[in-house]
């Protein structure tokens, strides 16, 4: 058994697998984004009726709307996924930013754009 060859093959497999996970997540978020944008447009139509006399409320509808906040959040996720896809391409994806260890695939499947492995994240007091 040629260990080096096996490692390369494994790396290639991981790359394909990770790209698939990220692309699936991307499609999922894009779907959610479309729904949120539709709700947001509806919301804007409704609120513009009620806030006609309070133009100040409409200064920043994105900041004051739940759907606007959701859209903002989803766009951030998309950016993270794009960045992660680039990382997969150059081979640095799935590495914990804090301890440089490989983040377990199971964790990446749940949160593909995480920067930290579970122990590091737990240490920082997040989940």
Among 99, 109, 122, 124, binds Zn ion (CB under 5 A): 99
Q: Is the dihedral of CA 39, 44, 50, 56 positive or negative?
A: positive
The one segment of 22-30, 55-63, 84-92, 114-122 that binds Zn ion by CB under 5 A = 114-122
- Give the CA radius of gyration of the chain: 20
Got the DSSP string for 100-122? Answer: -PBPPHHHHHHSTT--S-HHHHH
- Name the residue with tokens 């133009």: 55
Closest contact distance (angstroms) between CB of 57 and Zn ion is 44
- For Zn ion, which is the closer residue by CB, 44 or 111? 111
120 binds Zn ion (CB under 5 A): yes
Smallest distance from Zn ion to CB 1, Å: 30
Query: Which of 21, 96, 108, 114 lies at the binding interface for Zn ion (CB under 5 A)?
Result: 96
* Nearer Cβ to Zn ion (80/121): 121
Assess contact for 81 and 67: CB atoms under 8 A: no
Return the residue of 33, 85, 95, 98 that touches Zn ion, per CB under 5 A: 98
Residue 117 interacts with Zn ion (CB under 5 A)?
yes
Coil vs helix vs strand at 102: strand
Q: Measured between alpha carbons, how far is 101 from 21 in angstroms, rounded to an integer?
A: 20
Interaction site with Zn ion (CB under 5 A): 96, 98-99, 117, 120
């Amino acid at each position: 058994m040629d260990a080096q060859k096996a490692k390369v093959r494994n790396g290639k497999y991981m790359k394909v697998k990770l790209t698939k996970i990220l692309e699936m997540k991307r499609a999922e978020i894009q779907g959610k984004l479309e729904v949120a944008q539709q709700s947001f447009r509806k919301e804007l139509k409704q609120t513009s009726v009620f806030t006609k006399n309070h133009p100040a409320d409409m200064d920043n509808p994105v900041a004051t709307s739940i759907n606007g906040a959701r859209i903002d959040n989803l766009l951030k996720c998309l950016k993270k996924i794009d960045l992660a896809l680039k990382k997969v391409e150059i081979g640095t994806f799935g590495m914990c930013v804090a301890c440089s260890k490989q983040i377990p695939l199971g964790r990446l499947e749940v949160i593909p754009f995480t920067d930290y492995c579970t122990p590091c994240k737990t240490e920082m007091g997040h989940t």
